Structure 1
Amino acid sequence: MSIGAVTSATPASASASLATATSKNGLDYDAFLKLLVAEMSNQDPLNPTDSTEYIAQFASFSNVEQSIQTNKKLDSLMMVSALTQANSLIGRTATSADGSLSGTVAAVRVVEGGVEALLEDGRTLPLAPGLTVE
């Protein structure tokens, strides 16, 4: 039985739980267990699902969850690396790729779009390709 078949065979309450869990950060273990219980409760008693299928579904889910956690940790590690490199810009003159913005870097900070340099005059300069540092 595929995961798609599991979600289509679940009652409304389990589907609502799935939607809530998926909208947060993806499918979590609680939502998976609710789906598993719903699937077991609603299976055909004359043709029950083989337990190895449940184990395979859980193993697949576990692998996906581990991949998500690994990606989050890698993103964090890359951000630390970027900040460490950006820290070396403090006190140096940085110029944007198009030359329209230039100044001495007073600090660096993380923003939603990446890392940016805060210039001594209060302006900000995104650390993007083409940035020149002197």
Structure 2
Amino acid sequence: MRIDKAQPAGPVVNGLSAQGFKVDDAQGVTGVYAALLLTPVRADAWTPPALDALDVAALAPILDPAPEFVLLGTGRELRHPPRALVRALEAQGIGVEAMDSRAAARAWGVLRAEDRQIAAALYPL
């Protein structure tokens, strides 16, 4: 019996390096991004603000349509996002899950394999 691991539709983070996140998209195009915004249908390079200045406007490209939650990769180590950001997203019915960026990149693949409608914002490693 052969068991194949299901691949989620859309962009998949396939590797991490000093240069950033290696992403394969649905069309088979590979890119490397220092910082990254992900939705179920696209991956975009991102120039993030300092984490303590992160707000809804900086995440706007991944909030329409509204995801179940935003997976926030905070860099080399877990840092808490600004409380005002969390409150603003929760007011829109969007949760926030913060973790270090390596863990967030791994979680992206697991959650997308479950076809979860999430978004991600990953700070540089």
TM-score range, shorter chain: under 0.3
Bigger share in strand: 2
Larger Rg belongs to: 1
Structure ranking higher on relative contact order (CA contacts 8 Å, 6+ apart): 2
TM-score, length of structure 2 as denominator length: 0.22
Bigger share in helix: 1
TM-score, length of structure 1 as denominator length: 0.21
